[in-house]
Structure formats: C-alpha cells, structure tokens
Structure 1
C-alpha cells in the first residue's frame, strides 16, 4: 500500500514515510492509493474478538510495510487495559430507540483523540526506524483543546522526539487548559497563542512547508512531523472504531450482517467523520453521515451549498473543540469526490488561501449530499439537549456530543429516517464541567474542582480520576505569544 498526495497524485510514499513526514512537501495531505475491502464475513468473524484484534485486522490493510509483530507491538501497547477504563476500549451504549453512543473518551485524557494518539507514538517510532537514520523528530501540534493533551500524554518522554503544542489562549475550557499546562515530560513544550485555533493551525502548516526552515533543521539532524489529523498515522486509527462499533452491534444482535447504519459525528476539522467515510469505502454499511456543527457552521453551509466560505464571524462556544473555520481534513474528501484530481484540489485550496472561499462543481456537490447531511445548533440548544437527554434517559453527555444529538434529532424529524444510528461521543462531560453543570441546574459559581464534585453528585456518575487529580498538579507552562511569533518559538524550543 502506497500513499499519494492530495495535491500531487504522482507522489508515492510508504505508510512509514507518510507517518513520519506528516504532510506532503507541496502542502497536500497523504491518502492511500486505494481502499482495501473488508468482507461482511470478516466483520462477523472479528465481532467475537477484542478491540486489539479488530484494530490489527483493519490497520494491517493500510500499514503493509509493518510486520505483523511490529503492528501487534504498536496496537497491544496503545490499547492496554491500564490505559482505558472501559473493557471494550471504545464502548457502545444503547441510549434509546435505535440510538447508540460510541463512547470514545475512556482513555487517559478523557477525549476521543486518545483512540489515535495512544497509538501514534508507536507508529511514528516504528516508522522512523524504517525511513530515518538517527534523526530527531520535532512534532508540532495545533489544538482546539483535546488533541493537545492527548498528544502530550502519548508522546511524553518518547525517545527521539520533541513536541511543541500551540493552543488558543481563550479558546479552550479551564480543564483542558489545566490538563496541558500541568503536563509532565522532559521532551514537551506548551504555548498559548493570542488568536483562535485556525490561527494556530495555519501557523503550524506554514512552518511545515517552509523550505528554508526545513533545511535549517536538517543541518541539525531534525525533521518535522505532526500529531494533528493531517497526519495519516492520526487518521487511520479512527477508522478502526467505526468498524468496531458495527462489530458490537452484530455481536449484541442489534443488527443483521449487512444492515446499514447511520453515523453522526460532532466535527470541526472533519477528521473524525472522514474516518467513518473511509470505513464505508472499505465496505462498512453506512447509509448517511450526519455532520454536526456548532455556531461555527462552515461545514453545514458547505454541504448545503457546495460553497466553502470561512469569511464569517468566528464564535467562541461551549463546544470549543469545534470552534474551527478551516477544516483541514475536508481536503481529503474533496480529493476523493473529484476522483483524485490533484490539479482541481490544488486550484480550490489555492483559492481558499487567497480568497477564503471556494465552490465545488455541481456534480461534486451532488455526490457530497448523497453521502452527507449537515446541521448545526447554538449554545442554548446544546445546553437544552444536555438537560433533555439527562432528564429523560439518565445519560450525561458533554457539550460536543450534545451538538451531535441535537443535529441528529433535527435530521430524524426532517427526513423520517429511523435507521439505527451510532453517535460519536467525543469527550467526557467532566472536561466541560461548567457548561454541563449549568445545563442540569448545578452551581457554577464555585471553582472548577468543586464543580467536578458537584457534577458527580448531581449526575450519580464517577468523575475521572485523571481530571479530579489535576487540582494538585503544578503549572509548568505559562508562555503566551502572538501568532507571528510561532516560528521563533519553535526554533527556541529546539535550541536553534
């Protein structure tokens, strides 16, 4: 299995090279040259297996330059029982009437990013042995909250790596910020920027594609890589849990083999829902992908009109991980919808860089609408949904999952589609305690950690120990910079 670039389909690299490099030299994203197929009888067979075996089966189809032993080492260490609080790793919970929550937040940082970022360090270090000769890897991360902590935890003290995480100073929850600025590890740096997530993400991409900077790093035996979902090694593990959810439905006799499901994903950067779409391209029976956005509804408008336009107000919401107007992984979908036409993709994204907007062809718009439905909701609707689901079904969801629930219920009412549906639950409600507590009538005037205790009592759920224990951890990182200072900050962190 080789990988091409969305902006150069003549580029051919191995999985190991794609994972180490992170982004193609001309700024495109790596995509597999074809999608391996999974037969329904194979899904039935692995339904009786655990998450590690399911992951090895799916990942083995993409990471063909990894030996079975290497892949087993990576996967079995990433998804160890001492790292995930759920026996099934990605737990599927039947809430009511054909609606299933795929809980992706039972890992060490209580967010879905753990599903990929516990595995990525193993994939990256294994890949580096194949394609790098004793070079140090400098990993840059832009985060809207969850990726940063999950990446920091995954790469903590990993030999041969250094990591620098940038987050928007006023664009993450208090608990998310506390998780990052107290992170342990001698190879890590965390820095706030005066701007939003799009500023951080754009800055990191510019650093990646700066040839003069790359040459300077090469002189010091350092190469850049990424832990954002622009990196194929971040994206491919996410394909696994959609197959695993289907396996659980089969195992629990909730569906028949071959029966189609719907998938709902709260999304900002489009990576999580793209992974589900890739699973369908491999043979997973999915009828509709429901893309849920908050007030930053650039994706909702794009799916409806075929026009992507980031020239709009940026909203800071109670679902901050979705406060994004530049959805990086949408490029991979556009490449697929344009039948892998790299020139068409390059033209569109050049236009986005120049004008802040682009419009796809009518044919591509029709193809996207065949697969996707887009919807959005505001903060008040998000809180109302948290309250409704808790009061009616005794289920507590966070501010991002609630967006997905609200948009799904709107979709169901609008279309009458009662297909069994898997909703990606992307974070523990305790990561956004203030908003969740306010939604169910708790006292938000107390400090963050008292709020955690109150939410636990009110909801009769157990607070994750890794969040409750943050109270006692010392702050290590206090730096805050202007967005134009990102490159200088990277060079200083690397000692250059």
Structure 2
C-alpha cells in the first residue's frame, strides 16, 4: 500500500518511506491511498500481539509479517505492559473504560511509541538508509516521555522533545526532565503546546534546513501523531477492546457501540475512525474536549477557529487549539487535496477556516462533539469514585462526562482512559476532597492513603531520579536546538 499527502496526491511514498519522512514536504500529512476492510470474525481469539501484526500488516505492506509479529511481541509483551496489553473494565451497565495506561510511562502513547521505534529502524533497513535520524517531538505532556523512553539509546538516532513550560503536570515534567539515555534532549518552550508544535512543523517544512541536514548525512522525522507510524498502532486497541467485550459476553459480534475519546491533537480518535472504516461496528466516535473546546465548536458550526483564549486546565494533554490530525479526517471525507491545502493555508494565515456544509454533514455521520469544563471534570472524578469505586484521571473524567451526556440509553460506550490518575495526583486528590500540597509526591502519597490504591512504581521512583534537563527556550529557538542534534 502506498501513501500520499493530504495536500498533494502526487506526493506518494511507501509505508516505510512515509514513516521515515514523517511529514510531507509541503506540510501535508501522509494518508493511506485506501482503507482496508477486515472480517471481524477472523480476528477472534487472537492475542494483542497477533492482532496488532495482522491489522498493521494491512497498512505496512513493505514490512514482513514475521517482522511485525516479532516487533509486536517485543513492544507489547509482559516485560513492557502489566497483564493484558489493553484492559477493558465495566464501570456500570453500558459504560466501560479501556485502560490504556499499563505501559512503561503510564499513558496511552506507549501503545504507539513502544512499537514505532522498531518500525523506524526497520524502515531504515528496508530503504538502505544509513543516515543519522533526528527526531523532533512537540508534546503536551505524555507523548514526550513515551517517545523518549521508546527511542533512548537506539543507535543512529537522536531525539529532541519540546514541551510547554508550565503547561504539564509536575509528574509529566519530571518524567521528561529525568529521562535517561545518551541520545535524548528535552526543552521547555515558552508558551503553550501550539507554540511548540508550530515551531517543530516550521523546521520540517524549511527547505534550506532540509538541504543542510542532507549535506550533514542526517534526516528529520517526527514521533508525533502527524507521523503515520505513530498513528497506525493506535487502531489496534479499538479492535482489541471490542473483541474483549464480545469475549466477556457484554456484546454479540456485530453489535454497535460508541467510543468516547478525550481529544487534543485528534490522533487517538482518528485511529478510531480508521477502525470504523475498516469494519468495526462503531456507531459514533464521541470527541470529548475540555475548556479548550475548539473542536466542539467546529462540530457545531463547521468553523475551525483557533483565534481564541487558551486555557491551562487539569487535563493538559488536551490543552491544544490546533488539532493537527483533523486534517487527515477532512481529506478522507472530502477526497479533495486542493481544498485541504486551502483550509490549512487559511488556518496558518488567519487561525480560522470553514468547511463546506456537505463536508460537515459527512463528519457528523460518524462523530459527535462535546466538552466539559473544570468544575464538571472534578465532579465526574468524585462521582465515578463514589458510584463505581473507579479512579479516573482528569482526561478520562472529561470523556466520562461527555459519554454520559451523549448516551442514548441503548448503545454501549467505551471511554478511552488515556492516563493513570497518579500522573495528575494533585488534581485527582483535590477532586476527591483531599488537600493538595503543591508537591506531586506528597499528593501521590495522600491519594494512595485516601483511596487505598497504589501508584505505579515508575512514578513513585521519580522522586529519586536526578533532573538532567532544565533548559527553557523560546519557540524561535527550536531550529537551533534541532541543528545541534
């Protein structure tokens, strides 16, 4: 299968080439030229690793079946994930939590970023690429740590992560700032996630910078979900959750259900869209936003307007105003690369665009949009603990609130739980009536005592790890940091 750019269908790449390149020359995102269909019944009985190899093999056609299965077992085996790789928990009748935080960094990004480094190394082998690979990552919190952990000490690779200063939880910051590895680099960026993401994208589309890299025998790529190799592995857990509910007797094969996804950059929910197009019986994908509700307003009006106040919230991985992966959805639903180029130019110039009414109507056939403010988020954390004895982090709580608001009383709903609550222990503790101490480790201990639950060992161990990275740069300093790799 080949891939082309959302903004220029003449720019075509193989799967491994798209993963190596990350983003198209003109700033577009690579998309598959077709979306394969699967026989759901044929997937029953497969463990997570075999399921991943089978589904990814439909997209990554220049990778061997043997490699994909071997890589999946390395990425998702018990040495990396506790218990089952994707665990679906029943909260109450018709409402389930897909726990995606049992990996090494306690966040859903592990599902992509434990596998993606293996895909990248194999892509270099397939394409006989012996150049040095420089990976640039903009993160709102969780991607950074997961990418650093996945790529640390891989030969021929350097990785730099850029996160918004004061825009993550302290635990998220420490996960990055204490990262081990000789090939890793971490920078706080003045401003918000969009400032970091825009700075990284400008590096990728700078022709002079690309020529400079080529002369030095290195090339740039990304570990953000703008890279197809980051996005594709996330398709798998939608199928895994559905099949697990069938195995548990909660669903009959072919029954429809909803997925509700806490959404920032639109990558996680877009993976669900691909699963739906592949034949998974998803009625609706519920896009859950926090107070930064640009996507909710887009769903209601067809106008994407990023020229608005930016709010720092208790769910920082969703504090995003420019959701990059929405571009892929707009392309798939319109099939018009010229339109996408026009819309993205308008966004770059005016921070706003409006889609044709017919395109908005097509999106509404598979998506619903909702948002939850801070007060409702905290109330949801408390209510879920009291009613279901289930501890939810603020991102999961936003999705739970939207899922309850959008419930039709008939269709089961799976909420994607994207982070362990102990990554945001102060916020969760406060929501449960505890007193946050302005110290994440004190809050972690207090939350353990209050709830009788146990924080993941890697998070507790952060207290003892030395801080290695403390630099703060302005967004215009990102190119210089990239040049130093």
Distance 1:417 1:356 in 2: 38
- Residue 133 of structure 1: how far off its partner (Å): 2.6
- Residue 120 of structure 1: how far off its partner (Å): 0.4
Tell me the residue number matched to 1:189: 185
Runs of 4+ in 1 over 6 A off after TM superposition: none
Q: Does residue 79 of the first structure (1) align with residue 114 of the second (2)?
A: no
Distance 2:40 2:124 in 1: 34
- Residue 446 of structure 1: how far off its partner (Å): 5.9
Distance 1:459 1:126 in 2: 44
- Residue 41 of structure 1: how far off its partner (Å): 2.1
**Which of 445, 453, 472 is matched with 1:453 structurally?**
445
Distance 2:129 2:148 in 1: 24
Distance 2:31 2:481 in 1: 30
Q: Does residue 333 of the first structure (1) align with residue 329 of the second (2)?
A: yes
Tell me the residue number matched to 1:258: 254
Q: How many residues align?
A: 485
Distance 1:347 1:279 in 2: 28
**Which SS does the other structure have where 2:111 is aligned?**
helix
The one-character-per-residue Cα deviations of 1:225-277 (angstroms, maximum 9, x if unpaired) are 10000000000000000011111011111111111110100001000000001
Q: Does residue 13 of the first structure (1) align with residue 13 of the second (2)?
A: yes
Tell me the residue number matched to 2:382: 387
Q: Does residue 347 of the first structure (1) align with residue 339 of the second (2)?
A: no
Distance 2:355 2:307 in 1: 17
Structure 2 residue runs of 5 or longer lacking an equivalent are none
**Which SS does the other structure have where 1:8 is aligned?**
coil
Distance 1:171 1:453 in 2: 23
The one-character-per-residue Cα deviations of 1:311-335 (angstroms, maximum 9, x if unpaired) are 1000000000000000000000000
Distance 1:181 1:40 in 2: 43
Tell me the residue number matched to 2:140: 144
Asked whether the 8 Å contact 1:304–1:369 carries over to 2, the reply is: no
Asked whether the 8 Å contact 1:50–1:88 carries over to 2, the reply is: no
Asked whether the 8 Å contact 1:243–1:284 carries over to 2, the reply is: yes
Q: Does residue 219 of the first structure (1) align with residue 215 of the second (2)?
A: yes
The one-character-per-residue Cα deviations of 1:212-235 (angstroms, maximum 9, x if unpaired) are 001111111100010000000000
The one-character-per-residue Cα deviations of 1:327-369 (angstroms, maximum 9, x if unpaired) are 000000000111x210011011111111111101110111111
Distance 2:137 2:247 in 1: 37
Distance 2:350 2:129 in 1: 41
Tell me the residue number matched to 1:53: 50
Q: What RMSD over aligned residues (CA atoms) do the two structures have, in Å?
A: 0.9
**Which of 313, 317, 324 is matched with 2:313 structurally?**
317
- TM-score where L is the length of structure 2: 0.99
Distance 1:133 1:308 in 2: 39
